[in-house]
Amino acid sequence: MASLHPSLRSPITAADRVLLEIQRAIVEGDIAPGSKISEPELAKQFDLSRAPLREALARLERCHLIERIPNAGARVVKLSTQGLLSLYQLRETLEGLACRLAAEHMADTEIAELRALLDQHLNTQRVREGESYYQEAGDLDFHYRVILGSKNEYLINILCDELYYLVRMYRVQLGMNGPRVSRAFDEHKAILNAIANRDGELADLLMRRHIAASRRNIEKQLEQTGT
């Protein structure tokens, strides 16, 4: 694979650590959208030199969390309805493809594991109803596994390493919760069944619908908050 998630790579460098911290801070809104990134300031804050920090910034740019202008500096991205639309448009298509490929390429054992995962999520959902953290983690886990099941390295890279964090940022800052939660589980189940039946076309369709529904949900939140 071109680039693995830092936490999954053997040697963890200083740049990796600061990357994860800043990534989290941006995604969760601790660093405000649109705010300027100051290299000296951040370097002092994390107590390291600018070299590993710049490495981290390069990767943050790669996953669309910041925008850099040469000789001018970097800014945290601003969320927008247009951006959300573009992002989810892409996700629909890409994860749809991932589903179709997963239906072709996932091993039976992988499918069984995925089914076990869903059952497990269903339980935790019942126990901790309304707590969006577990729900979100479970949802991401499901999507992750399907994407990995596609066995297409470029597709995996784009979805998991480049688009994922931005998707999460929209969800965290705009709130993915409410009645959609329970429905999402049913949709996951249906997708899994399609994959298990090796029906790539149906899996594709269901995943696209699933994401479209998710998009509409967030869009609603965005309009309430105001651009």
Alpha helices in 106-162 (DSSP H): 108-127, 132-149, 153-156
Select from a second copy, DNA, none the partner in contact with residue 62, using the beta carbon and a kind-dependent cut-off of 5 to 8 Å: a second copy
| Residue placing its CB nearer to DNA in the complex, 15 or 176 | 15
SS3 154: helix
Fill in the per-residue mask, 74 to 113: x = in contact with a second copy (CB under 8 A), - = not in contact. ---------x--xx-xx--xx--x---x------------
Select from a second copy, DNA, none the partner in contact with residue 41, using the beta carbon and a kind-dependent cut-off of 5 to 8 Å: DNA
Report the C-alpha dihedral over residues 54, 60, 64, 69, rounded to 10 degrees.
-10
Q: Which strands sit side by side in the sheet containing 36-37, from one edge to the other?
A: 36-37, 73-76, 66-69
Element holding 74 (H helix, E strand): strand 73-76
The least distance separating DNA from the CB of residue 75, rounded to whole angstroms, comes to 9
Amino acid at 186: D
| Residue placing its CB nearer to DNA in the complex, 61 or 110 | 61
Among 21, 24, 25, 54, binds DNA (CB under 7 A): 54
40 is a contact residue toward a second copy (CB under 8 A): no
Report the C-alpha dihedral over residues 82, 83, 85, 87, rounded to 10 degrees.
160
201 is a contact residue toward DNA (CB under 7 A): no
Query: Tokens standing for 187?
Result: 């949709």
Residues 38 and 73: beta-carbon distance below 8 Å: yes
Query: Tokens standing for 162?
Result: 């480049």
Query: Looking at 65-73, 156-164, 189-197, 213-221, which segment touches DNA (CB under 7 A)?
Result: 65-73
Restricted to residues 159-198, the positions that interact with a second copy (CB under 8 A) are 162-163
Among 35, 49, 154, 225, binds a second copy (CB under 8 A): 154
Give the up-direction half-sphere exposure of residue 90: CA atoms within 13 A in the CB hemisphere.
13
Query: Tokens standing for 80?
Result: 């927008």
Residues that bind DNA (CB under 7 A): 10-11, 13-15, 37-41, 48-52, 54-55, 68-74
Residues that bind a second copy (CB under 8 A): 2-3, 9-11, 13, 16, 51, 54-55, 58-59, 61-62, 64, 67-68, 70-71, 83, 86-87, 89-90, 93-94, 97, 101, 152-155, 157-158, 162-163
